Structure 1
């Protein structure tokens, strides 16, 4: 993620300082950026030569090169103490007026900001992998972040050729991973309750919702260890849970998905993904599979975090969905979504209690999108 973000910034004509803990890592980053730029240049995606773009990137194992930066983006692993350590160092080195951004995918921005002397200038800037190809950036203010910092970050995202989605309120997991988590939870509940097989869940996702991957297939692709960590962070910080042991069992067995060659599916070799073969038919209805995710979307709208269009922008640009999740809900019928939620809620799953927004929309015949 770090060298991908550096590449995007340099493509946009910005001078970049890339810092890491060793020259081995930096040299590998240089090779990957050069290869990526060559491919983009050959395809006509970029006009400037790879050499001219690489000349904008200075690498170092010392924070000293950051003494004159206007904007710093951290992209270290999802470990809060590690992120705080990096922000402590950056806070000492970069100019007082400069902004510090974190590329975290789930950790609350306030938890990172509190370790600095410039809490109002710390913000979340969540890129999607791989950064040179993915258009989405979630911009997340903490409870301390100033409007000026948010506006600058949104503008910077656009200058980097990205489509920013700005959250109005900080929430663990942001939009992308909260919706993703709800899809994972319902997929897992279906299988563990014996209502559908793993293959049937993924067949519904691919063949009825036209998603690029099945839910379990996508989890394998992301990494089941990453999924479990994400799940834990979001639930521990207040989101309602849905009991599921399948993912944890896979991680305990060191079957982490594509990266190990086996997860819910088996792949050609560790690190080598191949599209999973799935049955054409499935007994699982698409409105049931997305019901919990739609409920989460309604919660995000109710709490004025984002609107329906912004939720759908995240899912289309961040996950390559052909339609946004709220748009899917409209086409499948909000009454069907609510009936599924009520049915599962009555089985004892508290997370499925229909959001008041959905209930009101069904009673008034409203949709998220006007015809």
Structure 2
């Protein structure tokens, strides 16, 4: 299959990443199905996506009829069967737990057409950990967007040892058709390129914070004003979610066994308090 043959895309998981990737596809002219097991999550996603596009309309960046046409290409469903039965390309964006992802991939494999590509948006769990849960490992890869997916241009396509050249090339060119700038990793490594570099920066930022060298606000200012980053590391953790950060680090620690890969004590304390960042109104910052 080539990218030109892809007409329908299925997103599994309607969280921040899944819903925004779905909208990227619909804006690019694809028929997209957004699936989640919880109806309330789908309703929340639809409300937030419509709000985002309405802001674009108010700023003159999108016409009202384009907004309606975009939503006409987006289908929301709680049925996995409905989501993938006639799909060409699946993007999984559910919780960062290997066992749950494997179960979902196995189910999708049984329901989706034989020529459909099955991808994961995860940057932590490489697709070789999921591919053997399917009967089509050569059609499984990582297809990693960045948060917020509607804004950030980069997509990382990762070719695992099981992934065929055709699948990797199709995913790479699909990213271009979605209006993104892709890079293709020829082999797997947890975290890929951008997040491995970002992880080192976050480690140092948390070290400086925990040892009292500077506040979170000051460290963020150093990154935005001195290094010209668009957002500081603590504001970014709040944006993506401290719970997500915690799960990613725990997954990496379980793989490596290296205590240095564990979540920092500050992260653990805030997660235990339910302070996940923007989504809960408090993380390293307080949000109204």
The TM-score, its normalising length taken from structure 2, stands at 0.82
Q: How does 1:188-227 map to 2 (within 5 A)?
A: 188-193=206-211, 195-227=213-245
Task: Look up the match of 2:10.
Answer: none
- Whether the 8 Å CA contact 2:160–2:186 is kept in 1: the answer is no
- What residue in structure 2 maps to residue 8 of structure 1? 24
Alignment partner, residue 134 of structure 2: 116
Q: Which deviates more from structure 2 when the two are superposed, residues 246-255 or residues 110-119?
A: 246-255
1:126 maps onto 2:152 in alignment: no
- Aligned residue for 1:320? none
Matched, 1:58 2:60: no
Equivalent position of 1:31 in the other structure: 47
Provide the residue aligned with 1:73 in structure 2: 91
Change (3 A) 1:136 1:68: same
CA–CA separation in structure 2 for the residues paired with 1:231 and 1:134: 23
Structure 1 residues 50 and 191 mapped into 2: Cα distance closer, same or farther (>3 Å)? closer
Q: Per-residue deviation at 1:8?
A: 1.3
Give the Cα–Cα distance (whole angstroms) in 2 for the partners of residues 205 and 260 of structure 1. Answer: 25
Aligned 8 A contact 1:41 1:49 in 2: no
Q: Normalising to structure 1: TM-score of the pair?
A: 0.65
1:204–1:52 CA distance, 2 compared to 1 (3 A): closer
Aligned to 1:257: 277
Deviation at 1:150, TM superposition (A): 0.5
Larger radius of gyration: 1
1:175 maps onto 2:193 in alignment: yes
In structure 2, distance between residues paired with 1:196 and 1:115: 46
| SS class of match (1:218) | helix
Q: Are residue 103 (structure 1) and residue 121 (structure 2) matched?
A: yes
- Conservation of the 8 A alpha-carbon contact between 1:173 and 1:230: no
- 2:251 is the alignment partner of 1:233: yes
TM superposition shift of 1:9 = 1.1
Question: Please, which runs of 5 or more residues in structure 1 have no aligned partner?
Answer: 270-371
Greater fraction of residues in strand:
2
CA pair 2-190 structure 1, distance change in 2 beyond 3 A: closer
Instruction: Write the distance in 2 (CA, Å) between the matches of 1:208 and 1:15.
Output: 43
Structure 2: 5+ residue stretches without partners: 1-16
SS in 2 for 1:258: coil
Is the contact between residue 275 and residue 282 of structure 2 (CA under 8 Å) also seen in structure 1? Answer: yes
- Alignment RMSD: 2.5
1:206-244 CA distance string (max 9 Å, x none): 332122333233323332222222222234333962784
The alignment of Structure 1 onto Structure 2 pairs a total of residues equal to: 268
> 1:250-289: per-residue Cα shift (whole Å, max 9, x none)?
3234333333333334x143xxxxxxxxxxxxxxxxxxxx
Distance 1:91-1:191 versus aligned 2 partners, 3 A rule: same
**Do the aligned partners of residues 147 and 237 (structure 1) sit closer, same or farther apart at CA in structure 2, a change above 3 Å counting?**
same
1:71, distance to aligned residue in structure 2 (A): 0.9
Task: Give a deviation string over 1:19-43, Cα, whole Å, max 9, x none.
Answer: 2214333333333333333333444
